[in-house]
Amino acid sequence: MSEVHLDDFSSLFSLNGKVAVVTGGSRGLGLHAASGLLQAGCSKVYITSRKASACEEAVAALNALPNKRPGAQAISVPADSSRMDELDRLVAEVNKTTDHVDILFANAGATWGEKFETHPEHAFSKVMDLNVKSVFYSVQKFAPLLSKSATRESPSRVIITGSVAGIGVGSLGENATFSYSASKAAVLHLTRNLALELGPRHILCNALAPGFFPSKMASGLIEKQGGVKALEEESPNKRLGRPEDIAGAVVYLGSRAGSHLNGATLVLDGGSVLKSKL
């Protein structure tokens, strides 16, 4: 009979007492993740995005969750992730109420849809800056806090939101997403580079590559591509992404169950990216 070592299954997916930071946490995928992180046992989940009122609303909703652990808290720290001074302030604000961070979900992102001929330089730069450069500097600036209680047996985690647009191509034509698609391919590769740099420091870095999830960012494009029903029909599993798909993936990547993944991309798209258009 083979040996079975799974003595502590009950805590395998638990995030009991963990401290997490979610950029772009005020709505959409970030908010779905934050909800999962709190319900999986995190003691503190910091929510950051540019708009203070949106962060406040998000933490009010999260703090009203019936399933979070007693005493667990969502905490609002508004900041613009695209600015270096704001990232420094974010880290300093977070550091006022915790001496370490276990999980950084670097998720804030933006897109731009416009045809090839007129795709504007200012938008290209803005998208690349937020989706790639800011992710790198978020990780760099949070690294000291991520290192604080990280050990080989209990490594800290960086989870980065890429996209299937960084694996296949993005939208083309009138609403082409050249900069977005390029930025997401770049950030998936950045994740692999970070995984090798930070793995030995006990900070594991992995990425999500979601397909379409209805959200403020995606809903316009979903409509332009025929709407939810049409896209569901095209998807191999006949549906789009749901909040719990993000929550489940982030909890997994943050937990002991995910502690041997480093540099991986978790594709959350029902298999859509595998469908060749040729």
Ligand X SMILES: NC(=O)c1ccc[n+]([C@@H]2O[C@H](COP(=O)([O-])OP(=O)(O)OC[C@H]3O[C@@H](n4cnc5c(N)ncnc54)[C@H](OP(=O)(O)O)[C@@H]3O)[C@@H](O)[C@H]2O)c1
Using CB under 6 A, pick the residue from 96, 216, 260, 277 that binds ligand X: 216
Burial class (CB in 10 A: 0-12, 13-18, 19+), 103: buried
Alpha helices by DSSP H, listed for 17-95, are 28-39, 52-63, 84-95
- The residue among 14 and 272 lying less far from ligand X, judged by its C-beta, is 272
Q: How far is the CB of 80 from ligand X (least distance, A)?
A: 5
Pick the closest to residue 31 from 216, 190, 263, 274 (CA basis). Answer: 216
Assign 109 to helix, strand or coil. Answer: coil
The span of 46-54, 67-75, 143-151, 230-238 binding ligand X (CB under 6 A) equals 46-54
180 is known as an active-site residue: yes
- State both tokens at 83: 């600015």
* One of 28, 36, 168, 170 touching ligand X (CB under 6 A): 28
| Rounded Cα–Cα distance for residues 184 and 179 (Å) | 9
Q: Which of residues 85-144 bind ligand X (CB under 6 A)?
A: 107-110, 130
Judged by CB under 6 A, which of 194, 212, 245, 251 binds ligand X? 212
Q: Tell me how crowded residue 275 is: count the other CB atoms within 10 A of its CB.
A: 11
CB 236 within 8 A of CB 272: yes
Closer residue to ligand X (CB): 216 or 277: 216
- Using CB under 6 A, pick the residue from 14, 15, 20, 26 that binds ligand X: 26
Q: Tokens for 52?
A: 């203070």
Q: Which stretch binds ligand X (CB under 6 A): 78-86, 150-158, 192-200, 248-256?
A: 78-86
d(CA 143, CA 201) in angstroms, rounded, equals 10
Using rule CB under 6 A, residue 61 touches ligand X? no
Residues 169-198 that bind ligand X (CB under 6 A): none
The residue annotated as part of the active site, out of 46, 137, 180, 252, is 180
- Distance CA(56)–CA(51), nearest Å, equals 9
Interacting residue ranges for ligand X, rule: CB under 6 A: 23-24, 26-30, 49-51, 54, 80-82, 107-110, 130, 161, 163, 210, 212-213, 215-218
Q: Which residues are catalytic?
A: 180
